[in-house]
Amino acid sequence: MTTIFKTMLVTSLRDKITMFYSVIFPIVLLIGLGYYFDNAAYSPRLVTGVIALSSLFWGVSGIAFQVHWQRSRGVYKLLKLTPYPTISFIFLMTAARTLLGILINLLVLAAGVLLFDVMVSFGALLGTIGLMFIGILCFTCLGFLISNFANNEGQINMISNLFFMPMIFGTDTFYSLKNAPEWVSTMGNLFPLGYYVHGLRSVLGITSESPAGSILVLVIYTAVLLMLAALTFKWETNGQLRVKTYKKKQRAVV
């Protein structure tokens, strides 16, 4: 078990593209926006927004591409031929990615503390780690679900964007929605990112509201997404789209 867990950490750490989007990109974004706005009241909100974005990319895109890659290369098929339960492998992979995701988010938080004087007490730090755990797990389940529906990398991008767009633009992750039409925030409320951001701001003491409501919603989202991901899980990539096109072409030739 230790070897598998350690190897999953290594394979995720060596995934340069996901690491760029989850570590470099959020930190550069934090530095860029932080110095551009240069507003002490906005900095803590910006830090939580960037942490949420990093969790989203790490959880959804990272796992969706990783699972798709493993599935299309026959990893799950080969795993079925070993005595090791595939579900245990998926659990360890998720655990390794969640642990790394938390560490990456803590790096972003550390950048916020060092560069923008964001205050974090020890209790708030523990609460933040707990919330990061639920948030990344929730996004990881969403990533799994997306990989189950996508037959290739292009479809992963398209389906991910269907979730990313309303989540990023329909929530107050980076900007206030006070002046936005009501349907924008209603749309944003259908997805977990907004609750994650509100939860982070609550545990870090940026807002005075209780994090309980956000945590509850995130737990429900995680449970539902996990169930859907398990129900739709497939061992092999199917080429259904390609087969149908081929048949149509054949008929056309006949």
17 or 162: whose CB is closer to another protein? 17
CA neighbor of 137 nearest in space, from 225, 54, 210, 9 = 225
92 or 229: whose CB is closer to another protein? 92
Work out whether 70 is an interface residue with another protein (CB under 8 A): yes
Per CB under 8 A, the segment of 24-32, 82-90, 110-118, 207-215 that binds another protein is 82-90
Residue 22 and residue 105 in contact, taking contact as beta carbons nearer than 8 Å: no
Work out whether 84 is an interface residue with another protein (CB under 8 A): yes
Q: What does the alpha-carbon distance between residue 166 and residue 164 come to, in Å, rounded to a whole number?
A: 6
Work out whether 240 is an interface residue with another protein (CB under 8 A): no
Q: What does the alpha-carbon distance between residue 160 and residue 142 come to, in Å, rounded to a whole number?
A: 9
CB of 99 to another protein, least distance (A): 17
CB of 174 to another protein, least distance (A): 32
User: Strand, helix or coil at 52?
Assistant: helix
Count, residues near another protein per rule CB under 8 A: 24
222 CB-near residues (< 8 Å, 6+ apart) = 134, 137, 138, 141
Work out whether 10 is an interface residue with another protein (CB under 8 A): yes
Work out whether 14 is an interface residue with another protein (CB under 8 A): yes
Work out whether 239 is an interface residue with another protein (CB under 8 A): no
User: Strand, helix or coil at 176?
Assistant: coil
Work out whether 79 is an interface residue with another protein (CB under 8 A): yes
H helical segments located in 80-116: 86-116
CB of 89 to another protein, least distance (A): 8
Residue 59 and residue 143 in contact, taking contact as beta carbons nearer than 8 Å: yes
CB of 36 to another protein, least distance (A): 35
- Specify burial of residue 73 (Cβ count, 10 A radius: 0-12, 13-18, 19+): exposed
20 or 84: whose CB is closer to another protein? 84
Per CB under 8 A, the segment of 67-75, 123-131, 183-191, 240-248 that binds another protein is 67-75
Pick one of 28, 39, 40, 80: the residue that binds another protein (CB under 8 A): 80
159 CB-near residues (< 8 Å, 6+ apart) = 146, 149, 150
Where along the sequence are the contacts to another protein (CB under 8 A)? 1, 3-4, 7, 10-11, 13-15, 69-70, 72-75, 77-84, 89
